């Protein structure tokens, strides 16, 4: 199956979420939450991410995670990841209980495409202090893609991880997972990058982006937001409407996309120093806000 057919299949099978100009969404992807070991890229930014997510929860945003939230290539079991970042999953549970959490699976957490795996690992956890199982994300469903559909205009925003355009990491993800676990994870500590990853291979990144743009052009310039490459993208109106929210494993920062008041923005959260020498986690607007309707045909 070609990348164009995989993207089309993801679109037609996508979970549809209605929205309007009062809706507020935050889109993050590629958190790669790990076990807090030397290979856990998320560990460096976990406090930034947790602070940002707390902000969005208090402000009433809906959280959409566009794949690779959990690093299940380097790590065998979700339980180790949960124990390392228990506070994060507690916050995700709050979003979930408020019906404000929507999850997409990517190539690094592709096991979540299996409802049985999700049910067995994410429904509950064992709390040793109380000596019993407690609910976590019981009943949660992971999707390959999401379509946000405006209630009045009918305008659609297609959300996916983006690995549908990456033949190797979509079709042969089990081989990639095996290679990461036995080869690239040990070499990562020496600074040797995985050449099969578009996030670490510029030529592959460009090829992947071209495939997604080709799909967008063939489908009436539908607004598409993806992750996977870790490279933030924010087109101007009139350009091919291909957005990328970046990742949560940039050096010392995380990036994401906000949709609020009918507008879209690319943002960054990082640690900054005040004039008094106090460290603070701050939000920075990188691009936008731009009206979503400006990208309509």
Helix/strand/coil (H/E/C) assignment for every residue in the chain: CCHHHHHHHHHHCCEEEEECCCCEEEEECCCCECCCCCCCHHHHHHHHHHHHHHHHHHCCCEEEEECCCECCCCCCCHHHHHHHCHHHHHHHHHHHHCCCEEEECCCCCHHHHCHHHHHHHHCEEEECCCCEEEECCCCCCEECEEEEEECCCCCEEEEECCHHHCHHHHHCHHHHHHHHHHHHHHHHCCCCCCCCCCCCCHHHHHHHHHHHHHHHHHCCCCEEEECCCCCCECCCECECCEEECCCCCECCEEEEEEEECCEEEEEEEEEEECCCCCEEEEEEEEEEEEEHHHHCC
Residue 172 predicted with pLDDT over 60? no
Tokens 């100009």: give the residue. Answer: 21
pLDDT for residue 193: 56
pLDDT for residue 126: 85
pLDDT for residue 163: 93
For the residues 220-249, what does the mean pLDDT come to? Answer: 97
Closest CA to 105 of 23, 164, 35, 24: 164
For the residues 123-147, what does the mean pLDDT come to? Answer: 91
Residue 116 predicted with pLDDT over 80? yes
Tokens (6 digits) for 220: 């009436």
pTM of the model: 0.91
Q: Tell me the per-residue pLDDT of 34-68, one tens digit each, with 9 for 90 and over.
A: 999 878 999 999 999 999 999 999 999 999 999 99
Q: Tell me the per-residue pLDDT of 251-263, one tens digit each, with 9 for 90 and over.
A: 999 999 999 999 9
For the residues 89-116, what does the mean pLDDT come to? Answer: 96
pLDDT for residue 152: 94
Tokens 């990841």: give the residue. Answer: 81
% of the chain with per-residue pLDDT over 90: 76
For the residues 155-183, what does the mean pLDDT come to? Answer: 75
182 pLDDT band, cuts 50/70/90, is low
Residue 175 predicted with pLDDT over 90? no
Q: What is the Cα–Cα distance from 145 to 160, expressed in whole angstroms?
A: 5
User: By the 8 A CB rule, do 258 and 284 touch?
Assistant: no
230 pLDDT band, cuts 50/70/90, is very high
Closest CA to 14 of 146, 141, 142: 146
Q: What average pLDDT does the chain have? A: 90
């Amino acid at each position: 199956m070609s990348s164009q057919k995989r993207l089309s299949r993801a679109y037609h099978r996508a979970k549809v979420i209605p929205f309007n100009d009062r809706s507020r969404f935050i889109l993050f992807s590629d958190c790669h939450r790990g076990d807090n070991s030397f290979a856990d890229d998320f560990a460096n930014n976990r406090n930034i991410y947790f602070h940002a997510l707390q902000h969005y929860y208090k402000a009433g945003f809906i959280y959409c995670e566009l794949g690779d939230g959990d690093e299940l290539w380097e790590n065998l079991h979700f339980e180790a990841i949960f124990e390392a970042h228990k506070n994060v999953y507690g916050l995700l549970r709050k979003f979930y209980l408020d019906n404000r959490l929507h999850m997409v699976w990517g190539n690094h957490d592709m096991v979540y495409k299996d409802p049985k795996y999700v049910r067995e690992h994410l429904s509950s956890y064992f709390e040793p202090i109380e000596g019993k199982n407690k609910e976590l994300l019981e009943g949660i469903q992971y999707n390959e893609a999401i379509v946000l559909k405006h209630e009045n205009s009918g305008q659609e925003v297609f959300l996916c991880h983006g690995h549908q355009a990456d033949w190797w990491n979509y079709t042969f993800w089990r081989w990639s997972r095996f290679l990461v676990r036995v080869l690239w994870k040990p070499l990562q500590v020496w600074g040797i990058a995985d050449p099969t990853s578009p996030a670490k291979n510029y030529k592959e990144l460009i090829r992947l982006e071209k495939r997604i743009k080709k799909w967008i052009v063939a489908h009436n310039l539908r607004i598409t937001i993806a992750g996977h490459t870790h490279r933030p993208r924010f087109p101007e109106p009139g350009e091919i409407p291909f957005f990328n929210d970046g990742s949560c494993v940039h050096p010392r920062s995380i990036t994401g996309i906000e949709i609020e008041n009918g507008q879209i923005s690319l943002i960054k959260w990082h640690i900054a120093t005040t004039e008094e020498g106090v460290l603070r986690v701050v939000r920075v607007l990188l691009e936008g806000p731009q009206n979503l309707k400006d990208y309509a045909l």
